[in-house]
Structure 1
C-alpha cells in the first residue's frame, strides 16, 4: 500500500517507517525540517516537508502522495520543540502537541476525505492516564482521565478529540503506553540517574509501557488490516511505580530513587505527577492481541529496560 506517515521523523516514526518499508509498502513520511529529508530517505521513505497546523500544507502533501492509508504520528514533545519535560506545567509543555492532536488531526481527516483515503491510524496515549476509579488496569471501553482542574487537562482533552474524531471517521486510534527504546530511553533515564525522579507516596499508581519497536509493529498491523476503533498498545505487565522505577534505576546503574510524600512532591512536581505516581491506572493489551494478532517482542518492561540499558 501507499502509506503516508505524518510525523515520520519523530521518535516513533523513525522506527515505524523501516518496518513499513520492509513489509513492501511505499512510504511518504513528513517532517517540519528540510534538514531531516535525507534521514527519511535513508529509512526508505519519500520525505516531504509539511506543517501539520497549516491546512493547505497538509492538503497539498496528502494530495501529492495519493496514499491508501494515513498514519498520524505528529507531536511536538521533543526538547527542540517543547523544551525539557515539565509535568508541573503540562499545559505549556504539551501546547504544540495538543494543537497537533486537535487542529492537526482535523487537517489530516479533511485531506483524507478530500482525496478519498480509505484508512486512517492515529496516535493516542494510554500509560498512566486511565480513569482514576475502580481497578488498576483499564480496557478500551474506559476513557482517558480528564484530569480536570490540573495542567494536564488540555492534553487529556486533546486525546479525547483524537479518539472522537478519528473514531467517528472509521479509523483506528492507538493508545501507546509510555515509550522507551532508541531515542526515548535516554530522556527517561537521565533524571533517574540524577535522582530527580522520586517515588511519590507509596508509589501505588500504575503505568503501562511499550518499546518503540513494539509500538511500530502494532501500527503496521493496524495499517495492513485497515483497523478501526481504539486499541491499547502496551506491554503485558502494567505495574505500580514502586516496582518499575527502582528496577529502572537498577538497570541504569543508578542509586535507588528517593521517596517523597505526596504533600511535598505536589508543589515541586505538580498535581499530574503526583496523580501518576499515586493513583495512575494502566491499560490492558488484550484487545490488540485478540483483534490485531499483535505480540510484543518485549512482553514486559523488565526485559526491555534491561536490554536497552545493558
Structure 2
C-alpha cells in the first residue's frame, strides 16, 4: 500500500475488529473505532439511524469497514442469530448512509461462507463467480441467509461506493481459540463425528490482513472467499485444538446429539470446499498457514511462558 487512509471501523472492539485494527495500523492507516461502548472513538448504535448519522456528522473517512456483530458467544440456536441477522439488514443500511455522510469512497464488509448455504456440497469446490450466494428456499435458515444476502447487496450495489465483501471461513486464532481451550480443559465440549464433512477455516490474523488489503486492493463490486487451503471438519478442528494445547482429548459424539441446538447442528452437518483463488489473484492475499492444524500449533507455540 502506498496511500494511507482514515478508516472508520464498525465493530472495532470485537475479536475480529482488534485484528483488523492491528493490520490497518501496521499498514499505516488511521483507524476510527465505531461502537456502543465507552472505549469507542465514535459512540453509536448501527441500529439507531438518526443517532448514527449525528455521531458521524462532521467526520471524514476514506473507507468504512463493517465488522460489527451482535454475537457475544457461539450461536447454538437459530434465535441466537436473530440480532445479527437484523444488524446485517438494518444496521448495514444505516451504515451505508453514514458512509455517504463521511465522504467515504470504499466500504469493506465482513461476510461469511455460510452464505452459500447450510448443506453438504460434497466434493464441489465453491467459487464466487459460479455459485449463488445466500440462495432462498431453505426455510430453516432463510432468515440468516437473507441477512447475509441483503448485507452484500447493500455494500456491493450502492451507487458511488466501491464495495467489497469478504466471505470468511470459520474463525480461529488469538482472542478466539482460548475460550475453546478452556472448555476442553474443563471437559465441557465434545468433538462431533465429521464422517467426511469439512468446513473452511481462517486464522483471525489472516482475516484482519485481508481487510487491510481490501482497503486499497481488489475490484469494486466483488466478493472474495477468505479461507485457508485445507478444509477441516468441525470435530477435527476441536481435536486439533486439544492436540496443539495439550488439553484432555475430547469425547467424540454423533451429530444427532447436537439436535437440541438446531443452529449448531446445521453448522456441523454442513460440508463445503471453498476456493480462495480469486483472493490470491486479485487481493494478493494468501493464508499464513495451509490449514488450521498447522496454524493452531503455531499459535500454541507462541504463547508467553510456554515451555520448549
What TM-score do the two structures reach when normalised by structure 2?
Answer: 0.84
| Match for residue 28 of structure 1 among 26, 32, 39 | 32
2:54 matches 1:60: yes
| Match for residue 108 of structure 2 among 117, 121, 128 | 121
SS of residue paired to 2:65: strand
Q: How many residues are aligned here?
A: 290
Pick closer, same or farther for the CA change 1:301–1:128 going to 2, 3 Å.
farther
SS of residue paired to 1:206: coil
Cα contact 2:225–2:278 (8 A) shared by 1 = yes
Cα contact 1:136–1:206 (8 A) shared by 2 = no
1:172-251 paired onto structure 2 within 5 Å = 172-225=164-217, 227-228=219-220, 229-251=222-244
SS of residue paired to 2:57: helix
2:3 matches 1:12: no
2:74 matches 1:85: yes
Q: What's the offset of the Cα at 1:265?
A: 3.1
| Match for residue 67 of structure 2 among 56, 65, 73 | 73
Distance 2:36 2:232 in 1: 36
Cα contact 1:28–1:65 (8 A) shared by 2 = no
Distance 1:257 1:128 in 2: 29
Residue 253 of structure 2 aligns with which residue?
260
Q: What's the offset of the Cα at 1:134?
A: 4.8
Residue 98 of structure 1 aligns with which residue?
85
Pick closer, same or farther for the CA change 1:240–1:70 going to 2, 3 Å.
same
Residue 45 of structure 2 aligns with which residue?
51
The runs of 5 or more residues in structure 2 that have no matched partner are 302-308
Residue 95 of structure 2 aligns with which residue?
108
Cα contact 2:58–2:102 (8 A) shared by 1 = no
| Match for residue 281 of structure 1 among 272, 286, 308 | 272
Distance 1:256 1:118 in 2: 49
- Aligned Cα root-mean-square deviation (Å): 2.5
What TM-score do the two structures reach when normalised by structure 1?
Answer: 0.83
Q: What's the offset of the Cα at 1:113?
A: 3.1
Cα contact 1:204–1:278 (8 A) shared by 2 = no
Residue 42 of structure 1 aligns with which residue?
none
After TM superposition, the structure 1 stretch with the greater mean CA deviation from structure 2, 60-69 or 48-57, is: 60-69
Pick closer, same or farther for the CA change 1:128–1:224 going to 2, 3 Å.
closer
Cα contact 2:173–2:204 (8 A) shared by 1 = yes
2:168 matches 1:164: no
Task: Give per-residue Cα distances to partners, 1:37-85, cap 9 Å, x unaligned.
Answer: 4xxxxxxxxx12111111122223333321111111111212xxxxx43
- Bigger share in helix: 1
The runs of 5 or more residues in structure 1 that have no matched partner are 38-46, 79-83
